[in-house]
């Protein structure tokens, strides 16, 4: 998102040059107006997301007393890790962080193990009900997990999965699968079928052709999908909260601290920053692959 | 021995609704260069993929070198295939691309190296071995794809429109080079193309396909001079064969075209009867145009004059039918003039107007 604002001035350059070779296609007034509106909208939307992030960032790196100060200054007076350290050393944070990472990795592994083959099948085979299957995958996302929560918790207690990291990972896997399946399917669509067929004529069986040709070519995209899944699990609060008691993941811990104990502002800001950081990093580095996945050709 | 024998192959798509191949039988001799030619959607690529084992026919058998391979996967068929998109592996260097099949066979390193270098030398890409496909031009990638197939020393080489992605000039050059190369290696080859010039210039024999069936298998000159049907005559040749419809006037008289009673003397097929409709096929280069009226010559009105450098291409109207005529560049003519056409009698072919099938020349009777 920050990169988006960075590149924003650049598209203006061609329109400045335009008068030089403009004889053929002069920018009309309406076109210019349209462009202006487009950029205004883009800037507004970016600000809408960036301002809160910025405020959280400053607060997380300000001394504790500065957090309570009002009115706030836009530029931070002093930058310090004090608030972040306060959060880091708060009770339960480090073990919750470890839990979050474990759950995230488990989710990533499970959803790729189940989702990637499904995505591959969707990309390569035309089977009866293929399109309905795709729709079905999407509709599972439309089903509100809140309704599922009580039966899920009951079942988890019966299955001895309640309050375990495995249990949370399973729930997250179920939530991540639709995206994983659809994203991996578009990754495999991007790997030409002829490449696998060529490998087959050169002595591979289907599995070898997949491993030697399709997999290496899909790997960057799969890595992006995997990290996406990790971030999804990292951010997930609701299921993690209702399915655990002591083995909280980080967002569940933060939520319960705020709701039950009324955690102080510095804790909230630091936690907020800590939680959004992976997503921001992800978006920053993976934009290229995501664009590729979503149909635009990026070389 | 690596002859390919295809027996009564049927292939359906879309859950059995569409027959892509309808009872196709074809034998490709050992070391023969067979071209599968046809418009897009005629089933030529499907047939090639059935030979490769990338598709399995619903009915029929396929033999390679006398062995029934119908149910075998591609890797067991001792074939190599060059794809239209080349299907060069983007994540491997040129060397590893060519070596891919040998590596799968776990050949010793020294042998791999030697054979890859040989194949690369043959395709003149020995200087690019360390590059990745993204750093190559289309023509170079195509060579990598061919080298990757040849290095396997396959019993059968299958090529699916290997030149169609090259630009026109490069294609001309690649065509001649490929022909030289394949004459050199003498591998049984099946080559799919929709480009009739490619087919005529490269093939030992051409199998012309239409709607999932093979309609004619013959040597290029034969396919060109004696098209088996209206479809073949109309598909092969630039311009395609001209067709004129006429009625047999009298058995001992002449064949008359429906254009104001101008009779044409030509060898008619056997067993024709007066009053019967026939289609006459003749190629543009077998019509002689003249500004002077003469007996036997058919009058025609000039519609379009196209100077093509080596010759003039005229579009003229005979009766109601526009046909193409080829003349010398210095033939002085303008649209709307009337010219007189003499049809080379030996080059006239007869077709059944209902079925489109050519009447066999043998047993034809010369009428005076």
Residues paired with B357 in a beta bridge = B229
**Interface test mutation site (partner A, options B46, B55, B91, B105, max chain A beta carbons within 10 A):** B91
Output the CA–CA distances (angstroms, integers) from residue A228 to A119, A224, A235, A291, B176, in the order listed: 15, 6, 11, 13, 51
pLDDT score recorded for residue A11: 41
Q: Do B249 and B258 meet the contact criterion of CB atoms below 8 Å apart?
A: no
Distance from CA of A209 to the nearest CA of B (A): 10
pLDDT score recorded for residue B259: 54
pLDDT score recorded for residue B325: 94
pLDDT score recorded for residue A291: 56
Distance from CA of A214 to the nearest CA of B (A): 10
pLDDT score recorded for residue A9: 40
Lowest mean pLDDT among A12-21, B133-142, B262-271: A12-21
pLDDT score recorded for residue A145: 78
Distance from CA of B55 to the nearest CA of A (A): 11
Most confident of A285-294, B42-51, B247-256: B42-51
Q: Do B158 and B123 meet the contact criterion of CB atoms below 8 Å apart?
A: no
**Interface test mutation site (partner B, options A126, A127, A201, A219, max chain B beta carbons within 10 A):** A201
Whether omega before B239 lies within 30 degrees of 0, making that bond cis, reads yes
Q: What is the CA radius of gyration of chain A?
A: 24
Mean pLDDT, residues A275-292 taken together: 74
Query: How many Cα atoms sit within 13 Å of B188 on the Cβ side?
Result: 17
Give rounded-to-5 percent helix, strand, coil for chain A.
Answer: 75, 0, 25
**Interface test mutation site (partner A, options B56, B100, B102, B150, max chain A beta carbons within 10 A):** B100
Residue in this structure with the two tokens 């909260």, named with its chain if needed: A241
Q: Do B266 and B244 meet the contact criterion of CB atoms below 8 Å apart?
A: no
Q: Which residue has the higher pLDDT, B191 or A90?
A: B191
Order of all β-strands in the sheet with B312-318? B287-290, B338-343, B298-307, B312-318, B321-327
Query: How many Cα atoms sit within 13 Å of A243 on the Cβ side?
Result: 30
pLDDT tens for A64-88 read 777 777 777 777 777 888 888 888 8
pLDDT score recorded for residue B26: 96
CA closest to A195 among chain B residues: B87
Instruction: State the pLDDT confidence band at B265, using cuts at 50, 70 and 90.
Output: low
Residue in this structure with the two tokens 């009298």, named with its chain if needed: B250
CA closest to A193 among chain B residues: B87
Phi, psi of B91, deg, nearest 5: -90, 5
- pLDDT greater than 60 at residue B295: yes
Chain A residue numbers with beta carbons less than 8 Å from the beta carbon of B89 are 195, 198-199, 213
Chain A residue numbers with beta carbons less than 8 Å from the beta carbon of B100 are 199, 202, 212
CA closest to B76 among chain A residues: A203
CA closest to A217 among chain B residues: B91
pLDDT tens for A120-152 read 999 988 888 888 888 888 888 787 878 888 888
Instruction: State the pLDDT confidence band at B14, using cuts at 50, 70 and 90.
Output: confident
CB contact under 8 A, B81 and A201: yes
Can you give the residue ranges of every domain in chain B?
A: 4-234, 242-366
Output the CA–CA distances (angstroms, integers) from residue B48 to A147, B6, B44, B135, B159, in the order listed: 55, 11, 6, 30, 8
Q: Which positions ≥6 away from A185 have C-beta within 8 Å?
A: A118, A119, A120, A122, A123
pLDDT score recorded for residue A204: 93
pLDDT score recorded for residue B43: 92
Q: Do B281 and B242 meet the contact criterion of CB atoms below 8 Å apart?
A: yes
pLDDT tens for B317-361 read 988 889 999 999 999 888 999 999 988 888 888 898 888 888 875
Q: Do A161 and A167 meet the contact criterion of CB atoms below 8 Å apart?
A: yes
Going by DSSP bridges, is the β-strand pair B79-82/B156-160 parallel, antiparallel, or unpaired? parallel
Distance from CA of A132 to the nearest CA of B (A): 17
Q: How far apart (Å, rounded) are the C-alpha atoms in residues A101 and A86?
A: 21
- The CATH code of the domain at B242-366 is 2.40.50.140
Going by DSSP bridges, is the β-strand pair B59-64/B4-13 parallel, antiparallel, or unpaired? antiparallel
DSSP letter string over B26-69? EEE-TT-EEEEE--TTSSHHHHHHHHHTSS--SEEEEEETTEE-
Distance from CA of A204 to the nearest CA of B (A): 6
Instruction: State the pLDDT confidence band at A8, using cuts at 50, 70 and 90.
Output: very low
Give the closest of B53, B73, B87 to A198, CB-based: B87
The b-or-e profile of A70-85 (16+ CB within 10 A means b, else e) is eeeeeeeeeeeebbbe
Q: How far apart (Å, rounded) are the C-alpha atoms in residues B168 and B152?
A: 29
Distance from CA of A188 to the nearest CA of B (A): 15
Instruction: State the pLDDT confidence band at B216, using cuts at 50, 70 and 90.
Output: very high
Give the CATH superfamily of B4-234.
P-loop containing nucleotide triphosphate hydrolases (3.40.50.300)
Q: If we measure between CA atoms, which residue out of B196, B231, B197 comes closest to residue B216?
A: B231
- pLDDT greater than 50 at residue B236: yes
Give the closest of B75, B85, B152 to A192, CB-based: B85
Mean pLDDT, residues A36-64 taken together: 90
pLDDT score recorded for residue B35: 96
Q: How far apart (Å, rounded) are the C-alpha atoms in residues B179 and B317?
A: 39
Distance from CA of B64 to the nearest CA of A (A): 15
Q: How far apart (Å, rounded) are the C-alpha atoms in residues B94 and B68?
A: 34
Output the CA–CA distances (angstroms, integers) from residue B24 to A236, B42, B57, B74, B212, in the order listed: 59, 12, 10, 20, 8
pLDDT score recorded for residue A13: 40
- pLDDT greater than 90 at residue A39: yes
- pLDDT greater than 50 at residue A4: no
CB contact under 8 A, B74 and A192: no
pLDDT score recorded for residue A277: 86
Most confident of B212-221, B241-250, B274-283: B212-221
Whether omega before A71 lies within 30 degrees of 0, making that bond cis, reads yes
Instruction: State the pLDDT confidence band at A15, using cuts at 50, 70 and 90.
Output: very low
Instruction: Please report, in angstroms and rounded to a whole number, the separation of the first and last CA atoms in chain B.
Output: 52
Give the closest of A195, A205, A212 to B87, CB-based: A195
Give the closest of A198, A205, A217 to B83, CB-based: A198
Mean pLDDT of chain A: 82
Mean pLDDT, residues B88-109 taken together: 94
CB contact under 8 A, A194 and B79: no
- Counting residues of chain A whose pLDDT is more than 90, the rounded percentage is 30
Q: Walk me through the domains of chain A, giving residue ranges and CATH numbers.
A: 2-85 (no CATH), 87-293 (1.10.3720.10)
- pLDDT greater than 90 at residue A247: no
CB contact under 8 A, B75 and A201: yes
Q: How far apart (Å, rounded) are the C-alpha atoms in residues B42 and B57?
A: 16
Q: Does the CA dihedral B316-B320-B322-B323 come out positive or negative?
A: negative
What residues in chain B have their Cβ under 8 A from chain A's Cβ atoms?
A: 52-54, 73-75, 79-81, 83-85, 87, 89-91, 100-101, 104-105, 148, 152, 158
CB contact under 8 A, A203 and B75: yes
- Counting residues of chain A whose pLDDT is more than 70, the rounded percentage is 87
Output the CA–CA distances (angstroms, integers) from residue B243 to A246, B230, B234, B288, B289, in the order listed: 88, 8, 9, 16, 17
pLDDT score recorded for residue A12: 39
Secondary structure class of B164 (helix, strand, coil)? coil
Instruction: State the pLDDT confidence band at B298, using cuts at 50, 70 and 90.
Output: confident
Q: Which positions ≥6 away from A231 have C-beta within 8 Å?
A: A104, A278, A279, A282
CB contact under 8 A, B91 and A197: no
Instruction: State the pLDDT confidence band at A20, using cuts at 50, 70 and 90.
Output: very low
Give the closest of B79, B84, B89 to A201, CB-based: B79
Q: How far apart (Å, rounded) are the C-alpha atoms in residues B87 and B141?
A: 9
Two domains, one topology: B4-234 and B242-366: no
CB contact under 8 A, B89 and A200: no
- pLDDT greater than 70 at residue B253: no
pLDDT score recorded for residue B146: 93
Lowest mean pLDDT among A2-6, A229-233, B88-92: A2-6
Distance from CA of A175 to the nearest CA of B (A): 33
Mean pLDDT, residues A238-242 taken together: 88
Going by DSSP bridges, is the β-strand pair B205-210/B33-37 parallel, antiparallel, or unpaired? parallel
- pLDDT greater than 80 at residue B9: yes
pLDDT score recorded for residue B205: 96
């Amino acid at each position: 998102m920050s990169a988006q604002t960075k590149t924003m001035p650049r598209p203006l350059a061609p329109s400045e040059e335009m008068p030089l070779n403009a004889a053929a296609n002069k920018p009309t007034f309406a076109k210019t107006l349209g462009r202006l509106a487009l950029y205004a909208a883009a800037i507004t939307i970016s600000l809408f997301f960036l301002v809160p992030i910025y405020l959280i960032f400053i607060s997380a790196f300000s001394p504790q007393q500065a957090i309570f100060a009002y009115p706030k200054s836009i530029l931070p007076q002093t930058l310090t890790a004090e608030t972040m350290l306060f959060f880091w050393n708060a009770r339960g944070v480090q073990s919750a962080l470890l839990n979050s990472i474990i759950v995230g990795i488990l989710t990533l592994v499970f959803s790729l193990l189940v989702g990637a083959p499904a995505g591959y099948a969707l990309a390569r085979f035309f089977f009866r009900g293929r399109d309905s299957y795709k729709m079905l995958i999407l509709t599972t996302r439309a089903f509100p997990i809140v309704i599922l929560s009580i039966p899920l918790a009951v079942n988890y207690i019966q299955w001895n999965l309640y309050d375990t990291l495995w249990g949370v990972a399973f729930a997250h896997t179920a939530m991540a699968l639709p995206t994983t399946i659809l994203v991996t399917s578009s990754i495999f669509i991007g790997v030409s079928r002829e490449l696998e067929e060529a490998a087959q004529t050169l002595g591979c069986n289907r599995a070898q052709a997949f491993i030697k040709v399709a997999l290496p070519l899909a790997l960057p995209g799969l890595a992006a999908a995997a990290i996406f899944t990790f971030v999804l699990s990292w951010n997930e609060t609701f299921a993690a909260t209702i399915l655990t008691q002591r083995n909280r993941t980080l967002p569940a811990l933060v939520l319960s601290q705020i709701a039950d104990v009324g955690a102080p502002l510095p804790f909230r800001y630091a936690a907020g920053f800590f939680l959004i950081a992976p997503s921001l990093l992800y978006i920053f580095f993976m934009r290229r692959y995501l664009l590729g996945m979503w149909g635009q050709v990026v070389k | 021995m690596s002859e390919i024998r295809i027996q009564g192959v049927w292939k359906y798509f879309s859950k059995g609704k569409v027959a892509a191949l309808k009872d196709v039988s074809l034998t490709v001799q050992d070391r023969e260069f067979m071209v599968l030619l046809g418009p897009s959607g005629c089933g030529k690529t499907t047939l090639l993929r059935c030979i490769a084992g990338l598709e399995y026919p619903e009915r029929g058998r396929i033999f390679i070198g006398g062995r029934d391979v119908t149910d075998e996967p591609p890797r067991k068929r001792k074939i190599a295939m060059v794809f239209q998109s080349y299907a060069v592996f983007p994540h491997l260097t040129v060397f590893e691309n060519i070596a891919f099949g040998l590596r799968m066979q776990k050949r010793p390193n020294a042998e791999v190296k030697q054979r890859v270098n040989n194949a690369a030398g043959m395709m003149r890409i020995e200087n690019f071995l360390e590059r990745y496909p993204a750093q190559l031009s289309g023509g170079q990638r195509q060579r990598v794809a061919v080298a990757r197939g040849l290095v396997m020393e396959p019993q059968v080489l299958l090529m699916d429109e290997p030149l169609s992605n090259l630009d026109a000039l490069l294609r001309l050059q690649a065509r001649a080079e490929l022909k030289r190369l394949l004459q050199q290696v003498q591998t049984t080859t099946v080559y799919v193309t929709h480009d009739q010039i490619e087919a005529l210039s490269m093939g030992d024999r051409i199998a012309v396909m239409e709607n999932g069936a093979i309609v004619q298998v013959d040597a290029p000159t034969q396919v060109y001079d004696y098209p088996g049907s209206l479809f073949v005559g109309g598909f092969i040749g630039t311009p395609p064969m001209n067709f004129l419809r006429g009625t047999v006037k009298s058995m001992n008289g002449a064949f008359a075209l429906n254009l104001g009673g101008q009779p044409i003397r030509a060898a008619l097929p056997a067993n024709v009867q007066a009053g019967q409709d026939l289609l006459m096929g003749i190629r543009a280069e077998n019509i002689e145009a003249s500004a002077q009226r003469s007996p036997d010559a058919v009058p025609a009105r000039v519609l379009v004059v196209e100077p093509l450098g080596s010759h003039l291409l005229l579009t003229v109207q005979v009766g109601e039918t526009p046909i193409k005529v080829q003349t010398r560049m210095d033939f002085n003519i303008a649209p709307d003039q009337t010219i007189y056409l003499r049809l080379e009698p030996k080059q006239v072919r007869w077709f059944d107007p209902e079925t489109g099938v050519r009447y066999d020349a043998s047993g034809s009777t010369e009428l005076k």
